[in-house]
Amino acid sequence: MNKALLLRLHRWVALIFGLPLAAVIATGLILSVEPLVVQGSVAPGSVTVATIEGVLQRHDPQGAARALFLRPHEGTLTVRGGIPGGVAEVDLATGAPAAQATTLSDLFGVARQVHERLIFDAGWLVIASTVAMLVLIVLGTFMGWPRLRNTLSGWHKGFGWGILPLVILSPLTGLLLAIGVTLTPASPAPPAAAGPPLPLIEAVRVLGKDHDLSGLGWIRPIGRNLVARLLEDGEMKTYTLTRDGALPGGRNWPRLIHEGTWGGPVLPALNLITSVALMGLLVTGIWIWARRKLRRPQPGVRRQRLRTQGALGEP
C-alpha cells in the first residue's frame, strides 16, 4: 500500500480519536501506579482475622454487610451493604470511622471511571478508541522500518518501534478485557452456595484460615458466592469462599497484564513506562502534524505569492 496513504490514515485516525485517547492514556498512567503503591504498602501479618472481625462486630453487629474493601496504603477498611448509611469507612489503627478527606483511592477511583467509561458513561467510545490505537500501531508498522534521526519525527518513529511489543500489549489486553475475553483455561465452575448465603464475617474466617489477609483487596458477592481478591506472591489472586474453604479461581490473563497485578513490581513498572510512551507518541504525533500544517502556506497565500513574483518578473 502507498506509504503516503498510510501516513495520511495514521494522522487522521490520531486526530479523530485524539481527545478520548488522551483521556484513556492519561488515566491509564495514573492507574499503572496503583499496583506499585499497594504492593509497597502491604506489611505481612498486619491485618488478621481478629482485626477484621473487630471492625465488623463494631460497625456491622447485625451481620448484614456483604462486601468489604481493604486499602493498605491508607490503613482503612470499607464495609458496604446492609449497614446504616450503606457504607462505613474505618481506620484500622483505631477502629473508628476514618477521617473524610480526598485520598489516593479517590484519585484511583475517578481515574478508573474515566479510563473505562470516560466522563459520560461512554464505554463504547473507550472501546472504539482502543481499536483506533491498535489501528494506529498497525499503520505505523506497515509504513516500514524508520530511519533513525535526531529529530522529533525520528524520535517518534524510533521510540514506537523500540517498545513495539509493550505498545501493542497494553491496548490489546485492554480490548480483550473490555469485551470479556479472559483466556482462562476451562475448569469446573465453583459450586453455587447452598442454603443461606455465607455471612461476611464467616467468609473472612474461611479466607484467613490459610491466607494472610494483609494483602486483601476485597471480598464481594459475585453470583451467589462471595469472592475474594488477594495479593499473594506479587499477584492478585481470586478465591471463591464457601463453607468448605477458599477455592482458587482461574487467572484472567488480560486483566492481570493490563492492570499490572502479576509478576510483582516488574509488570506495573513496565505498564507505567508504556503509558508514558503512549502519551508521548500521541502528543508528538499530533505536534508533528500541527507544526507542518502551520508551516505550509495556504492555497490563497501561495497563489498570491506566485502572482506577485510574476508581476515583478521574478522566477
Please give the pLDDT value at position 289: 87
Query: Model pTM?
Result: 0.86
Query: Would you say residue 193 has pLDDT above 70?
Result: no
The span from the CA of 255 to the CA of 231, in Å, is 14
| pLDDT at res. 308 | 57
- Cα–chain-centroid distance for residue 259? 5
Residues 6+ apart with CB under 8 A from 303: none
Our count of domains for the chain comes to 1
Please tell me the predicted confidence (pLDDT) of residue 188.
62
Q: Find the range with the poorest average confidence among 191-195, 258-262, 269-273, 290-294.
A: 191-195
61's CB contacts (< 8 A; 6+ apart) are: none
Q: Is residue 8 part of a domain?
A: yes
Q: What's the DSSP call for residue 91?
A: E
- 75 lies in some domain: yes
pLDDT given for residue 313 in this prediction: 47
Identify whether 292 is part of a domain. Answer: no
**Residue 133's pLDDT is what?**
96
- Domain membership flag for residue 306: no
- Residue 149 covered by a domain: yes
More confident residue, 88 or 190: 88
Task: Check pLDDT > 90 for residue 258.
Answer: yes
Question: Do the domain assignments include residue 212?
Answer: yes
Q: In degrees to the nearest 10, what's the CA dihedral of 197, 202, 203, 208?
A: -170
pLDDT at 307: 59
Query: Is residue 168 in some structural domain?
Result: yes
Residue 189: per-residue pLDDT: 61
User: For residues 251 and 133, what is the distance between their CA atoms, to the nearest angstrom?
Assistant: 26
Exposure class string for 243-281: b at 16+ Cβ within 10 A, else e: eeebbebebbbbbbbbbbbbbeeebbbbbbebbebbbeb
Kindly report the average pLDDT of the chain as a whole number: 88
The single residue listed with the C-alpha cell 484460615 is: 209
In a domain, 309, yes or no: no
Asked whether the CA dihedral 80, 33, 103, 127 is positive or negative, the reply is: negative
* 73 grid coordinates: 496504603
| Three cell numbers written together for 251 | 487467572
The domain in which residue 271 lies consists of: 3-279
